[in-house]
Structure 1
Amino acid sequence: MTLASPLRKLVVGRPLPEHAQAWIAAQAPGIEIAELRDDYSILADADVLWPGLETPDGDRLLALAPRLRWLQAFGAGVDRWLTPSFIDSDIVLTNASGIHGIQIAEHTLSLLLAFARGLPTLIRGQNEVLHHPPLRQFELAGQTLLIVGFGRIAEALAPRAAALGLKVIGARRRIGGPLPEGLDRLVVLDALPDALAAADHVVSILPLTPQTQGFFDATRFAQIKHGAHFYNVGRGASVDHAALAGALASGKLAGAGLDVTEPEPLPADHPLRRLPNVLLTAHTAGASPHYQERALAIALENLSRFQSGRPLVNVVDKRTGY
């Protein structure tokens, strides 16, 4: 990438700490930093946008920010911007992929361990007199974990799961190169039916793309090993929740741990809220006291690279969505 002109305006979705402002002033002298609040008109002459949680979709952003050259997302998901016009634009899109590995891996393992030790039953029964409530407990050691969507979060999860004695299988669109740490084997998504049939635990960490919308549907739940547990720490819309509720109610699945759903939150009367073998964790898996510093470090590194015309890190292929 080469710069046609120097950066003049950076719009941020949340206040920047003083050390970051000083760093930017040194790296990009003369650049204006403006905070995006309720007035989107400040986007009119923005070269760079580091958005917060609430930002316009791709089409509206193109209309509001005709000079925009680079958008740095502070999360991994970017589907809200990927309208056809935005995909075809020259705007470079980067994300914060890689900063979620530790916390989402730990969160996922907490869900597996909760089911293994019967914590949903124990927590519901802690105010009852029963000293030994009826519950089903099992050991993770020796069981099989299938991770569908083997990216950077999965790379953090696999060795941690293997350390607990789980046999770990990864699944993604393409395979090649050395086997990632912690994996017993890696398979392509076309081989998913056999892998689903072998897994005691299935974790979805799929990104949201047109190909993954409703990916886990009634057909795929039917392919999962009877009595397995299902977990979603990726994107809510990758799962058909009616099909999931049916698989849980029928006993096909022994339980589900869902950090993400569609919609969020689920309606109060949704069937998944009434099932005792479901854990809902309200999209908290990515939370960490280190989140903002890690995301900001990527943004600052990319600003330096953008200024000097070097390749950016975490560039999103706008056509694939990741």
Structure 2
Amino acid sequence: MSKVTILVTLEPTDPDAQPFRDAISADPVLCESVELHFATGDAVAKPIAQAEIAWCGNLSPTMIDKAQRLRWISFWSAGVDGKITPQLLERRFLLTTASGVHGANIGEHIMAWMLMFTREMHFHVRSQAAGEWRRSPSMSSVSELGGQTLGIVGYGRIGEGLAVRAKAFGMRVVALKRNPALRYNENVTVDHLYAPSELRQLLAESDHVCISLPLTPDTYHLFNAETLSSMKPTAYLYNVARGKIVDEQALITALQEGRIAGAGLDVFEQEPLAADSPLWKLENVIITPHTAGQTPYYFVRAAELFAENLHRYLRGETLHNLYRHERGY
């Protein structure tokens, strides 16, 4: 039986290619069933003509045209906004993502923001940069996470990764989920699970609100002036999802007028964030340049997920993280 040809769009010498070799070589079934080819740039043209599966960041329209044997594209990103083209849909490819590999690192990123705001570290970092010995403006501005409520808007793998870490700090955790029946880790529990129609209730009771939703037509500017008005003036907002889920101007206004206490932002409506954006100078904002997803273990976890999906593909089973056009992710 001929082997299934897989194109991986990494250089053969790229250290990130090794986890994929390891995942295949350590598995007798996959070793016998698949063959990996690594290539980037113009060198992709030859192997993609024979490939049945591609694991990639993206593929150009020209390369898609050459891929006459291709059946499955596995994107190594968690989100696919901007990647799902009419050309891909017309070819009826199986399309999957690496959703789920970010749970640990993004969960820790959000915890870092919460700890910084709760312990006024953002204030002290600015004082240090200015060479000034300043204490927090008031004792009441310093708090503890224990007993506070975290609201997670989008309770997927990132949400579960955050929930288990927040629970370790003694926080109360509530979450919003489109499909409550779809869970990834049944051992991670929350204090209450809300439906999408109950977003305002979640916001009203949360001291910290984390956005971990996919960007779809339904979630575009979900957090607008009206939505933000449901948050406590003492609450903090964190966005690690996509910038366009938040109406950035409405957020800036809410932050400037003290309608919410602060924000930790990793994503923005336009990236890089414009140098003249008011967000840079707001003292109640902590900005990271779309780096919450960074981790040295990214491709190790992605390779494990891909290997598991390969088994499902070879058995003719439904793939994990399969893109559904009707829901937008």
CA distance in 2, matches of 1:28, 1:285: 35
Equivalent residues in 2 for 1:91-130, closer than 5 Å: 91-126=93-128, 127-130=130-133
Equivalent residues in 2 for 1:260-271, closer than 5 Å: 260-271=267-278
Aligned to 1:230, what secondary structure does the other structure show? strand
Which residue pairs with 2:143 in the alignment? 138
Contact kept? 1:116, 1:138, Cα under 8 Å: yes
Indicate whether 1:49 and 2:54 are aligned. Answer: yes
User: Over residues 52-111 of structure 1, what are the superposed CA-to-partner deviations in whole Å (9 max), with x where a residue is unaligned?
Assistant: 3x543xx66643434320011222112232234433542111222221111111111110
Contact kept? 2:9, 2:44, Cα under 8 Å: no
Distance 1:81 1:124, change over 3 A: same
Percent of counterpart pairs with the same letter? 39
Contact kept? 2:23, 2:304, Cα under 8 Å: no
Indicate whether 1:204 and 2:208 are aligned. Answer: no
Q: Which runs of 4+ in 1 moved over 4 A?
A: 5-8, 20-25, 59-62, 176-180
Aligned pair count reads: 314
CA distance in 1, matches of 2:136, 2:289: 27
Indicate whether 1:300 and 2:292 are aligned. Answer: no
For structure 2, the 5+ residue unaligned runs are: 12-16
Given the two structures, how large is their TM-score scaled by the length of structure 2?
A: 0.86
Equivalent residues in 2 for 1:234-313, closer than 5 Å: 234-313=241-320
Contact kept? 1:82, 1:321, Cα under 8 Å: no
Equivalent residues in 2 for 1:40-79, closer than 5 Å: 41-42=45-46, 43-52=48-57, 55-56=59-60, 62-79=64-81
Aligned to 1:107, what secondary structure does the other structure show? helix
Which residue, out of 141, 152, 158, partners 1:153? 158
Contact kept? 2:176, 2:196, Cα under 8 Å: yes
Which residue, out of 33, 39, 53, partners 2:37? 33
Of 107-116 and 179-188, deviating more is 179-188
CA distance in 1, matches of 2:263, 2:106: 16
CA distance in 1, matches of 2:225, 2:260: 12
Of 129-138 and 112-121, deviating more is 129-138
CA RMSD of aligned residues (A): 2.6
Distance 1:254 1:62, change over 3 A: same
User: Over residues 191-229 of structure 1, what are the superposed CA-to-partner deviations in whole Å (9 max), with x where a residue is unaligned?
Assistant: 111221111111000111121112111111112122211
User: Over residues 227-267 of structure 1, what are the superposed CA-to-partner deviations in whole Å (9 max), with x where a residue is unaligned?
Assistant: 21100011222111111111101100110001111222201
